[in-house]
Structure 1
């Protein structure tokens, strides 16, 4: 498909020309020039030009929907041609969040490939939500509360999240006793992780403050929390070992992240799904143990 079409789809997904360009390794200036060239070629304005917000025009919305359908059809054609109709074989593109992929997916991949030696695996680790159509992704691991209706979701487990901090940070900054006390503390979150939606008893609380350090890396936030930079909302699968070892302690242990957030394996809704996809999802269900992530030493709490 025309690379300018891919750029337009990426810009619509990420909410800006600059972000869409970054996803494809293109500068913001070049992205703007290429979209302008595409609009000139089509004789239609696709994007409203504004310094404050990104929005597709009516023509842009229609064109975006049609391009997504074309990309999905190309993906299915690729599946058919590659011969992935009977047994797991051929190219299999997998996407996963960086930390979860490194900790829980990567160690399992050798066993999966031994079981299915005809699979040609490629893995993308990213903390952003990858467009499965534009990225030609067969299966993605998503940690989220809601999955778009365009995707088929298979929930693998809960992603229970807790507030935590290093003992050294709390010794210096003091221990928060109430939700309101968090306003006096440094909060740490990667881009897209704010606002925090917490469950405090039966009450829902939203915390929306800038992170003390801005980064697109959730792994960096974990390291900053361990080094005593502030308070973070982290998944137990990510910090359970640090809590058990005392390198982190729970903050406001009566609070936790929304229970709606789960770990999902997702793929495009299609009449033809590559056999490697259900094989991989079944393999994850067999090998992952979500209950183990909740087995944290509850005595490691501040206060």
Structure 2
């Protein structure tokens, strides 16, 4: 575009402070630059520069035009950079942190496929069940299962997270099947540390119930294994106990209740103007793998509404 070229030349002249300096930067003669500036002024019908032999000065109209031109050029540069970054080949080391059990079950089995698709990438996957400071510790991305609050981080929802109350058939045969939330007071409820308040939603609306049990553990995996083994009743995510529910090792009890918090599986990354290709392709890979109805929920009679997208 001729107009864009003239704007670029004008901005270079103002930034450089003279036509000769701008000419050296752009590889153009001062005569060509002067001709282009005159053409721009004629088209605009306004004088932009006051010229002397050694320097230039902006007119009032030129100052206003310059401020708008540099904003336009910055937007064009940003648009071109956006396309370039989307087209660049993902490479380098991708540092990801994720919850331990979720990563073992729903990330690790598919990493071979991902790394085969992007051979120039190296993946550093660190497992932790605490919220890691991804900026402070230099991570590119975190996978989190939470009801996210507003923050300086950007989040993309990868999948819904349904939690159901469940127990093994052997436990229910021995201890009886609860018919109401009040019945849970007479059952051995299993939970990890500080997760004894179950926030649920049912026919009567949102409710919270404090549960108790004979096992104390800080391990979510221990809770899963003990509920399958018949030790008690637990509130578990379907990504965690889906296989046991499908095989009949576990049964959903009190199916009219679900967790009331808007918890989901998210990809969380630092707020940046441009998302690096290595981060984008990993997020896209997981989003395509899980989807609005993730594979761990398919075939389960959850009786739950599929929630829509949740803003982080």
Question: Same fold per TM (> 0.5)?
Answer: yes
- Aligned counterpart in structure 2 of residue 293 of structure 1, from 296, 300, 304: 296
Q: Does the 8 A contact of 1:112 with 1:283 survive in 2?
A: yes
Out of 112, 115, 123, the residue aligned to residue 113 of structure 1 is 115
1:199 to 2:207 alignment: no
Q: In structure 1, how many angstroms separate the alpha carbons of the residues matched to 2:261 and 2:205?
A: 13
Cα contact 1:127–1:218 (8 A) shared by 2: no
| C-alpha distance in structure 2 between counterparts of 1:130 and 1:224, whole Å | 28
Q: What is the number of equivalent residue pairs in this alignment?
A: 217
**Cα drift, residue 298 of structure 1:** 3.4
Q: Distance in 2 between matches of 1:123 and 1:248?
A: 31
Length-normalised TM-score, structure 1? 0.66
User: 1:160 touches 1:259 (CA, 8 Å); kept in 2?
Assistant: no
Alpha carbons of 1:211 and 1:101: their partners in 2 closer, same or farther (altered >3 Å)?
farther
Deviations along 1:30-84, one digit per CA (max 9) or x if unpaired, are: xxxxxxxxxxxxxxxxxxxxxxxxxxxxxxxxxxxxxxxxxxxxxxxxxxxxxxx
Are residue 264 (structure 1) and residue 266 (structure 2) matched? yes
* In structure 2, C-alpha distance between the alignment counterparts of 1:260 and 1:278, rounded to whole Å: 24
Whole-Å separation in 2 of the counterparts to 1:210 and 1:91: 44
Partners of 1:159 and 1:235 within 8 A in 2: yes
Q: Considering only CA atoms, is the larger Rg found in Structure 1 or Structure 2?
A: 2
The Cα shift of 1:96 comes to 1.3
Change (3 A) 1:128 1:256: same
TM-score after normalising by structure 2 = 0.64
Task: Give, in angstroms, the shift of residue 206 of structure 1.
Answer: 0.9
Aligned counterpart, 1:183: 185
For the aligned residue pairs, the C-alpha RMSD in angstroms reads 2.4
Deviation at 1:201, TM superposition (A): 2.1
Q: Note the C-alpha offset of 1:165.
A: 0.6
Please show how residues 18-29 of structure 1 align to structure 2 within 5 Å: none
Q: What is the distance in 2 between the residues matched to 1:133 and 1:212?
A: 39
Aligned partners of 2:166 and 2:246: how far apart in 1? 12
| 2-structure distance, mates of 1:193, 1:296 | 28
**In structure 2, how many angstroms separate the alpha carbons of the residues matched to 1:95 and 1:140?**
5
How many Å apart are 1:272 and its aligned residue?
4.6
Partner of 2:156: 154
Q: Which residue of the partner structure matches residue 212 of structure 1?
A: 214
Measured at CA, do residues 136 and 202 of structure 1 come closer, stay the same or move farther in structure 2, by a change above 3 Å? Answer: farther
Distance 1:191 1:286, change over 3 A: same
Shift of 1:289: 4.0
Unaligned runs of 5+ in 2: 1-86, 303-312
CA distance in structure 1 between the aligned counterparts of 2:193 and 2:178, rounded to whole angstroms: 24
Q: Which residue of 2 aligns with 1:39?
A: none
Conserved 8 A contact 1:142-1:266 = yes
Mapped contact 1:147–1:153 kept (Cα < 8 A): no
Unaligned runs of 5+ in 1: 1-84
Q: Residue 112 of structure 1: SS of its match in structure 2?
A: helix
1:235 equivalent to 2:232? Answer no
Deviation at 1:170, TM superposition (A): 1.5
Deviation, 1:297, is: 4.4
* Shift in CA distance, 229/290, structure 1 to aligned 2, threshold 3 Å: farther
Structure 1 residues 3-82: aligned runs within 5 Å: none
Q: 1:288: Cα distance to partner?
A: 2.1
